[in-house]
Amino acid sequence: MKVKLLKKNRETKDVFSFIFAPDKPFEWKAGQFIFYKIPDENEDERGITRHFTISSAPFEDNIMLTSKFDFEKGSSFKKALHQRV
Protein backbone atom coordinates (compact mmCIF):
# COMPACT_ATOMS: atom_id res chain seq x y z
CA MET A 1 0.00 0.00 0.00
CA LYS A 2 1.16 3.51 -0.74
CA VAL A 3 0.15 6.56 1.24
CA LYS A 4 0.20 10.30 0.60
CA LEU A 5 1.19 12.59 3.45
CA LEU A 6 -1.59 15.14 3.81
CA LYS A 7 -0.40 17.18 6.76
CA LYS A 8 1.70 17.35 9.89
CA ASN A 9 0.30 18.53 13.22
CA ARG A 10 2.41 19.69 16.12
CA GLU A 11 0.79 18.18 19.22
CA THR A 12 3.32 19.41 21.81
CA LYS A 13 6.81 20.92 21.72
CA ASP A 14 8.34 17.66 20.51
CA VAL A 15 5.41 15.41 19.47
CA PHE A 16 4.03 15.43 15.93
CA SER A 17 1.21 13.62 14.18
CA PHE A 18 1.42 12.79 10.48
CA ILE A 19 -1.83 12.23 8.59
CA PHE A 20 -1.74 10.02 5.51
CA ALA A 21 -4.31 9.12 2.86
CA PRO A 22 -3.99 5.48 1.75
CA ASP A 23 -4.19 4.72 -1.98
CA LYS A 24 -6.77 1.97 -1.28
CA PRO A 25 -9.07 1.05 1.60
CA PHE A 26 -7.14 -0.11 4.64
CA GLU A 27 -8.56 -1.76 7.74
CA TRP A 28 -6.77 -1.98 11.09
CA LYS A 29 -7.49 -2.69 14.72
CA ALA A 30 -6.90 -0.32 17.62
CA GLY A 31 -3.29 -0.64 18.81
CA GLN A 32 -2.03 -2.11 15.54
CA PHE A 33 1.28 -0.97 14.08
CA ILE A 34 2.49 -0.61 10.51
CA PHE A 35 5.88 -0.45 8.85
CA TYR A 36 6.57 2.84 7.10
CA LYS A 37 9.32 3.18 4.50
CA ILE A 38 10.92 6.43 3.29
CA PRO A 39 13.37 6.30 0.40
CA ASP A 40 16.26 8.41 1.72
CA GLU A 41 19.75 8.77 0.35
CA ASN A 42 20.93 9.62 3.88
CA GLU A 43 19.69 6.43 5.51
CA ASP A 44 21.19 5.50 8.86
CA GLU A 45 22.37 2.10 10.12
CA ARG A 46 18.75 1.12 10.90
CA GLY A 47 17.74 1.49 7.25
CA ILE A 48 14.75 3.21 5.65
CA THR A 49 11.88 1.38 7.41
CA ARG A 50 10.41 1.97 10.86
CA HIS A 51 7.33 0.71 12.65
CA PHE A 52 4.73 3.06 14.11
CA THR A 53 1.56 2.44 16.10
CA ILE A 54 -1.46 3.80 14.24
CA SER A 55 -2.89 6.62 16.36
CA SER A 56 -6.09 7.19 14.37
CA ALA A 57 -9.25 5.22 15.08
CA PRO A 58 -10.10 2.25 12.82
CA PHE A 59 -13.29 3.96 11.58
CA GLU A 60 -11.38 6.98 10.23
CA ASP A 61 -10.48 7.19 6.53
CA ASN A 62 -6.95 8.49 7.01
CA ILE A 63 -4.03 6.94 8.85
CA MET A 64 -2.38 8.99 11.58
CA LEU A 65 1.03 8.21 13.04
CA THR A 66 2.25 10.14 16.09
CA SER A 67 5.84 10.32 17.24
CA LYS A 68 8.22 12.27 19.44
CA PHE A 69 10.94 14.13 17.55
CA ASP A 70 14.10 15.89 18.72
CA PHE A 71 15.22 18.34 16.03
CA GLU A 72 18.85 18.18 17.19
CA LYS A 73 19.20 14.46 17.89
CA GLY A 74 16.53 13.00 15.61
CA SER A 75 17.36 10.11 13.30
CA SER A 76 17.83 10.68 9.58
CA PHE A 77 14.55 8.78 9.08
CA LYS A 78 12.53 11.17 11.24
CA LYS A 79 14.27 14.18 9.72
CA ALA A 80 13.26 12.92 6.26
CA LEU A 81 9.69 12.39 7.48
CA HIS A 82 9.53 15.96 8.84
CA GLN A 83 10.75 17.38 5.53
CA ARG A 84 7.85 15.77 3.61
CA VAL A 85 5.36 18.54 4.47
pLDDT tens digits along 18-61: 999 999 999 999 999 999 888 766 677 888 888 999 999 999 99
Of 71, 11, 46, which is closest to residue 79 (Cα–Cα)?
Answer: 71
Lowest mean pLDDT segment, chosen from 6-10, 48-52, 63-67: 48-52
C-alpha 13/C-alpha 39 separation (Å) is 27
Higher-confidence residue of 84 and 56: namely: 56
Cα four-point dihedral sign 31, 35, 40, 43: positive
Among 22, 20, 17, residue whose Cα is nearest residue 67:
17
Tally of domains within the chain: 1
Residue 66 above 80 pLDDT? yes
Q: Which domain holds residue 30?
A: 3-82
- CATH number of the domain within which 75 lies: 2.40.30.10
pLDDT at 16 over 90: yes
Report how far residue 59's alpha carbon sits from residue 77's, in angstroms, rounded to the nearest whole number. 28
